[in-house]
Amino acid sequence: MEAPTEVPSVPPTLDWDVWLGPAKWRPYHPAYLPFKWRGWWDFGTGALGDMGAHLIDHAYWPLKLKYPTTVQASSSPYTKDSPPIAEIITYEFAARGNMPPVTLKWYDGGLTPPRPAELEPGRRMGDGGGGVLFVGSKGKLMCGTYGRNPRIIPETKMKEYKRPPKTIPRSPGIHEEWIAACKKGDPSATTTHFGYSGPLTETMLLGNVAVRMHDKNIALEYDGESGKITNLPEANDLLNFKYREGWSL
């Protein structure tokens, strides 16, 4: 999708300069807002940046992931202005302590993983909003969007499974956590403090860099500690954002 060229009048209820914020200047157009900003590189990060945190989180947390070692992508066409409609992004993570290396794959735009042989005929993978499929050495587990309804597949194995006691503290809710963190100034007051959510976001957005670099036909190698792509220097230009004058931090 290319940026529109028409220049309609700015609605009297909108401060266009403030809405643009640090993004580079462009004329107002209703194609950018209110919800549609997510589909433009200058304002949003496409489906991955929109929903990735709600889905990747379910593998990222229990598998103790942090920075991927490599990222590669394939996608439908995209433009200088907007992300692709569909994409597959593959992240490789190194071993962590006694946990082995792991591959994490992101699918969107109607693309899905191969249907597991264990999933009963006629049964949906995930739910209407998507989902997560865990593929392990001893079996498979799936859940819906936001981690809804986690189930071992096939259902016969789920019924045989003896659930452990609940030992993980339950969140009181995102708003309650945010307020508690503000009042206490303590990262432990929230389950998604920046020490966790920062690397998670970094991982997600590396997928967008891989999408925009996939014509180089190379898997991006990433050094998380230095925050640099080591085998394609030009890709590092996409790791930084130039703020519009007057909006720098």
Decide if 247 is inside a domain. Answer: no
- My answer on whether 23 and 65 are in the same domain is no
Decide if 69 is inside a domain. Answer: yes
Report pLDDT for 148. 93
- My answer on whether 127 and 156 are in the same domain is yes
- My answer on whether 95 and 188 are in the same domain is yes
- My answer on whether 73 and 14 are in the same domain is no
* Domain count along the chain: 2
Residues sharing a CB contact under 8 Å with residue 35, sequence separation 6 or more, in sequence order: none
Which pair of tokens denotes residue 123? 């049964």
Report pLDDT for 1. 84
pTM of the complete model: 0.93
Widest distance between CA atoms in the chain: 63
Residues sharing a CB contact under 8 Å with residue 82, sequence separation 6 or more, in sequence order: 1, 2, 39, 40, 41, 46
Give the whole-angstrom CA distance, residue 80 versus residue 98.
Answer: 42
- My answer on whether 39 and 50 are in the same domain is no
Interstrand relation of 132-135 and 102-108 (parallel, antiparallel or unpaired): unpaired
* CA Rg value for the chain: 20
Output DSSP code: residue 120. Answer: P
B/e letters for 203-227, b = 16+ CB within 10 Å, e = fewer, are: bbbbbbbbbbbbeeeebbbbeeeee
Decide if 245 is inside a domain. Answer: no
Report pLDDT for 121. 96
Is the peptide bond preceding residue 4 cis, with omega within 30 degrees of 0? no
Interstrand relation of 132-135 and 151-153 (parallel, antiparallel or unpaired): unpaired
pLDDT in tens for each of the 249 residues of the chain?
Answer: 899 999 999 999 999 999 999 999 999 999 999 989 999 999 999 999 999 999 999 999 999 999 999 999 999 999 999 999 999 999 999 999 999 999 999 999 999 999 999 999 999 999 988 999 999 999 999 999 999 999 999 999 999 999 999 998 888 998 999 999 899 888 888 888 889 999 999 999 999 999 999 999 999 999 999 999 999 999 999 999 889 999 987
Host domain of residue 21: 1-44
Report pLDDT for 248. 83
- Residue 218, domain CATH: 3.30.360
